[in-house]
Structure 1
């Protein structure tokens, strides 16, 4: 699970956790984001983790980027999720494609 706290419209650091059942127990894994902007989830808030069709174990982090001064101009952040053991790791990519999951 990838989630974050909520401070109105402002982004927060992401949080990740894992469990074998939705009922828990849950193990907290910390902020999955790394690098510049990680402390604010790259100026987004998590909304969904998308499994990549046809690529087992490949997932895309999807985040909402709110713009309270111009809400109609809300944007989205989609980034590949890598794993270090069971811990998800999300790095900023200016551009990327599905070949990142072939590495």
Structure 2
């Protein structure tokens, strides 16, 4: 489908531009949604922050175009799913409870 934009009026060009921008947003949202489906709530994930540090945490929520990750330090991050990768869950620390019964 070829569109000769030289023959379009200014109003038609603005309308075409708006439709193109909306279509691109829709395609981006669909890609983000498809990527989100690779992860589940509760998954242990990792991503790189803007300084290049690896942040690990738990995926807690799906948003419209991102997911919310709570890091080990308690910080909340809204991350595009394209930046996420699955990470190994931290080893659970085993604690043993000692129960002492006192005699009466």
* TM-score, length of structure 2 as denominator length: 0.22
Largest Rg, 1 or 2: 2
* TM-score, length of structure 1 as denominator length: 0.22
| Bigger proportion of residues as strand | 1
| Bigger proportion of residues as helix | 2
